[in-house]
Structure 1
Amino acid sequence: MNIWTSNILESNCCANSEDALFMYYLDYVFYLQYPFYHCLNDEGRGWLFSTLKKFKPAYHASLALSKYSQYATRSRQGCHHSHSQLKESHYDLALQELQLALSETQTWSVSQTLVRSIECLTCIIQLLFWENWQIHLDGAAALVPALAQALTASITPASRYNNRQTFQNVEVAASGIRFLLGSFIFLDIISCASTRSSHFLELDHKLMLGLDSIQLENIMGCSNWVVTFIFEISLLDGWKRKAEKAQKLSAIELTKRGKQIDVGLRKRLADDDNRPSREHFSDGASPSTSIEITRIFALSAMTYLHVVISGAYPELPEIQESVSKTIHALQNLTDPKWLRRLVWPFCVSGCLALDGQKSMFRDLLPAAEITKSSIGTCPEAMKIIEECWEMRASLHNCDWVCVMNKWGHHILLS
């Protein structure tokens, strides 16, 4: 065999390997990340396939996730690789090429901005899985407004567009815009609720979640209304922290604001319990799935709210009530594996569990086939819960963020 033939065979082997990883991502890994994903039009995931194939940073990021997922499967069979080994090649290429693309944002023309933003955000949403998620979300914050502007503008008739090309770009990229914008709004709100810190995105979250074109139950499994409530609770949390820092916190005002959210959340939960399942979900979603996931997020939001109002005390009757209901809902999931996408509710509720409930949370992971090497942050959430239980012996008002602060790094519970 001559050198020329050898090089061709090596190149073909590499290409075949990458093709296999790419298809593994589309067929398997994507649905680990988004098990509730449902596209309401005929385009499906065409935008994703096109973007990954065209934009190399996003392509390499998807291959890196495929490799990690395969590693997780092999590790359950006794094979092990270091995290640094897994990050070599595809991950490093994705990161380097993304940084290069982001350095050129000032050179993008008006007609390029939307397409380039979609490409970069598709890559960022993959890289968020690895580490430095705060840096990646911060980078996304500069790009997401272009999608929000395009989506709100798409409601406007084409005749009112100043730039016909922009309108055509919006029409072509509609599925990608809805998916990415919905994903990043959700991640921004959950990151804030995960770390009890400020939001990354400078946009009107409630306005965006009020648009019919963003349907989170078709992306994350839970309805827009419950994510809006979590957003409102995070705003109350931020207001409280700011008032405490200025030594101007009014317990009366805090209770009043919290009560308004509590009443609204309880009413919405009751309304949904009494409403026919098909009545409040978009045509493509599975009603039973959306109801289950939404209810778990809503019950955990209730726990979060009372932690903000009264502190992280598991013995409080209102916290006991919401945690007990969350446990029951988690134990009775139609598919226990959905726990992988319920990390925030799982962690918040677990940290506020009573002694007699601890084994119930521990049992949820094996039922969902989640191990230390599983893709996602559920294993880390369990570590946070266990650490919180230990810390509560000496620090009674202990929540999930207390643990993260002790460790010196924040975790995105998504």
Structure 2
Amino acid sequence: MNDLEPVATEPDKDAGLDTSGLNRHSASTKCPPFRGEPTPDSNPDWNSTDTRPSTEPTSSNTHRDSWNSLDTLSISNSSDGKPGDSELDRRFMMFYFDHFFPFLFPFYKPLLLEGGRSWIIELVVGNQAMWHTTLCLSTYFVSVSLDGAISGHNVCKTLAWEKLLKQMGVTFMMLQRNLQEAAPSNTQDLIVKTSRIMGSIIQLQRFEISVGNFENCQKHLGAAIALFKQIIQAAENVTDRGELPTFHGVLSHMGRPLWAITSQPSGAWSSDQAAFRFYSALLIVDDIIASTCMEEPPRLLEYHAQLLTNDRSPNERPPLNLEDFIGCENWVMLQIGEIAALDTWKKSMKKAGQLDMMELVARASAIKQALLGNLARLDAAANTPKTNSLGLFTLYNDQLPPMPGGCTAFVTRVWAHAALLYLSVMVSGWQPGSGGIRENVVRTLALLEQMPAPELLRTMVWPFCMVGCLAAPGEECRFLAMADALVPHRLFGAARKALEIMQNVWKRRNELTIDTDFAACVCSLGYMSLLV
């Protein structure tokens, strides 16, 4: 039962990715063609919608003339579409590598022995779709940084959006072309090309979330998941064993590592291997978080054990260690996925009149014990110093503030307490005043207020929203203060969206019933917001 009806607000307009072979959703509206650019709208399998939020100013010829005279932030569009033809484009790209990427992913610091982050440059320079998408990101980031810092900043803001929209149009065309080229390829080429397209979609998704556009989250996520499954299927066809190929086996079809070290389980990943690992980790997380809002189990649930655990060799790291990518340890994400799957089971059984509450409580208790046990382990290890290979370089490459136990332990702890809240609501319903929920709300809120830097909140948006929706009236101002500390607001789209969801819940607090759940809260704005 959804007690939170969609509010009558002007919906955000954003870019949508749609391919007939991936998913069948279509955008509700189409925008006029991008001026001066061919558009994907000419192909019925693709759809493009305006990415400009309703708060952005509209363009005009006067603004365009002023922009050209300013010559401050214009980005050249080469006629042949080749990346790197403009020196200014290359400077924007380095701005992305040096500043925006670390801003978006502060925990991603791969070891030098694994090849570092050089794959980002290799992949972007060698792939036109990635180049144009990345140029979009950098254009937006610079426009926000310069907003108000120079004369005529409103003009800069307007024209930065125009340039951004044109780059988005190019990106859609490149992705369409790449999909067509990948189809007739041999197995290795198919896996490599498909993984690059998947990465482009996820990067585009992250861009949209960073600017606060969420209406096409499901479409982009569905496309990326479909491509991920195609990659696994292609690798499975080669192994021909009738079972899922190992993640390392999939990576092996993308080429050989740049080098190998005897004492290390893996060598330096090639650019395609490193990119696939990175975007697969983000996709796993996005899928899990989306499942909490869509009342369905994670669509990649069958891959969780293989990718996020290492039961066969407990002393070795799992193929994907999410702590290295998003700052949260695997066990929390695994349990959130299990809660979402259990929630789906509960609702289907209840609808069929077959719900066994004892079985529900037993399965929920196992999840709770896993969360509490790992939290206790985390607390016990809080003062244990960590060693890191080639730690010398962290002195020059660590943008995270120092804190006892490390930032990843702090972030993991916040996620775990939010997972306990999610579990309580799933089992017992919407009871913000109950003892168990109040205890976890107070504890999680206290943790969030201990953040060593406000910007760290961008890595904990889902927990922030979860605890905020269950907050007491007297605690609302504390959540507002945390959101207001994130400046400029235009670079924290997900956190601002989480605050908007909370405020909608607070406004209707007295109307909510025990049947309300977190999915109803998130979708109360009329669409699913991917809070990552």
Residue pair 1:352, 1:399 contacting (<8 A) in 2 also: no
AA paired with 1:25? Answer: Y
Give the equivalent residue in structure 2 for 1:96.
173
Deviation larger for 246-255 or 31-40: 246-255
Q: Determine if the alignment matches structure 1 residue 235 to structure 2 residue 341.
A: yes
1:280 is displaced (CA, Å) by 8.3
Deviations 1:173-224 (A, max 9, x none): 4322321221211111112124433423364212210142311111101111
Match for residue 137 of structure 1 among 215, 218, 221: 221
Give the equivalent residue in structure 1 for 2:366.
260
In structure 1, what is the Cα distance between the partners aligned to 2:162 and 2:486? 27
Deviation larger for 116-125 or 76-85: 76-85
Give the equivalent residue in structure 1 for 2:126.
54
Q: Determine if the alignment matches structure 1 residue 168 to structure 2 residue 256.
A: yes
1:298 is displaced (CA, Å) by 0.3
Does the C-alpha gap of structure 1 residues 76 and 363 become closer, same or farther in structure 2, counting only changes over 3 Å?
A: farther
Give the count of matched residue pairs. Answer: 400
Match for residue 357 of structure 2 among 251, 260, 270: 251
Residue pair 1:72, 1:375 contacting (<8 A) in 2 also: no
Q: Determine if the alignment matches structure 1 residue 297 to structure 2 residue 438.
A: no
Match for residue 339 of structure 1 among 451, 457, 466: 457
Deviation larger for 188-197 or 53-62: 188-197
Residue pair 2:293, 2:523 contacting (<8 A) in 1 also: no
Deviations 1:211-266 (A, max 9, x none): 42311111101111111111111111111122123232222222221112112211
Residue pair 1:221, 1:294 contacting (<8 A) in 2 also: yes
Does the C-alpha gap of structure 1 residues 83 and 190 become closer, same or farther in structure 2, counting only changes over 3 Å?
A: farther
Does the C-alpha gap of structure 1 residues 255 and 126 become closer, same or farther in structure 2, counting only changes over 3 Å?
A: same
Deviations 1:6-46 (A, max 9, x none): xxx99699712211221111111111221111102441122
1:399 is displaced (CA, Å) by 4.5
AA paired with 1:135? Answer: K
Match for residue 324 of structure 1 among 431, 438, 442: 442
1:377 is displaced (CA, Å) by 1.0
More helix per residue: 1
Does the C-alpha gap of structure 1 residues 246 and 46 become closer, same or farther in structure 2, counting only changes over 3 Å?
A: same
Does the C-alpha gap of structure 1 residues 231 and 406 become closer, same or farther in structure 2, counting only changes over 3 Å?
A: closer
Residue pair 2:133, 2:204 contacting (<8 A) in 1 also: yes
Q: Determine if the alignment matches structure 1 residue 113 to structure 2 residue 219.
A: no
1:154 is displaced (CA, Å) by 6.5
In structure 1, what is the Cα distance between the partners aligned to 2:520 and 2:252? 51
Residue pair 2:293, 2:522 contacting (<8 A) in 1 also: no
Identity %: 27
Q: Determine if the alignment matches structure 1 residue 365 to structure 2 residue 483.
A: yes
SS at match of 2:256: helix
SS at match of 1:384: helix
AA paired with 1:168? Answer: R
In structure 2, what is the Cα distance between the partners aligned to 1:39 and 1:122? 18
Deviations 1:85-144 (A, max 9, x none): 364111111122112222344212111123212311221111113241211111111222
SS at match of 1:389: helix
Residue pair 1:194, 1:413 contacting (<8 A) in 2 also: no
Does the C-alpha gap of structure 1 residues 361 and 119 become closer, same or farther in structure 2, counting only changes over 3 Å?
A: same
Give the equivalent residue in structure 2 for 1:225.
331
Give the equivalent residue in structure 2 for 1:186.
285
TM-score (norm 1): 0.87
Residue pair 2:292, 2:519 contacting (<8 A) in 1 also: no
Higher relative contact order (CA 8 A, sep 6+): 2
Does the C-alpha gap of structure 1 residues 249 and 76 become closer, same or farther in structure 2, counting only changes over 3 Å?
A: farther
Residue pair 1:121, 1:143 contacting (<8 A) in 2 also: yes
Measured on the aligned residues, the alpha-carbon RMSD in Å equals 3.1
In structure 2, what is the Cα distance between the partners aligned to 1:189 and 1:116? 25
Residue pair 1:154, 1:167 contacting (<8 A) in 2 also: no
In structure 2, what is the Cα distance between the partners aligned to 1:194 and 1:258? 19
In structure 2, what is the Cα distance between the partners aligned to 1:108 and 1:102? 11
SS at match of 1:393: helix
In structure 2, what is the Cα distance between the partners aligned to 1:272 and 1:379? 30
Residue pair 1:64, 1:87 contacting (<8 A) in 2 also: yes
Give the equivalent residue in structure 2 for 1:5.
none
In structure 2, what is the Cα distance between the partners aligned to 1:407 and 1:312? 19
1:384 is displaced (CA, Å) by 0.3
In structure 2, what is the Cα distance between the partners aligned to 1:73 and 1:282? 34
Deviation larger for 314-323 or 144-153: 144-153
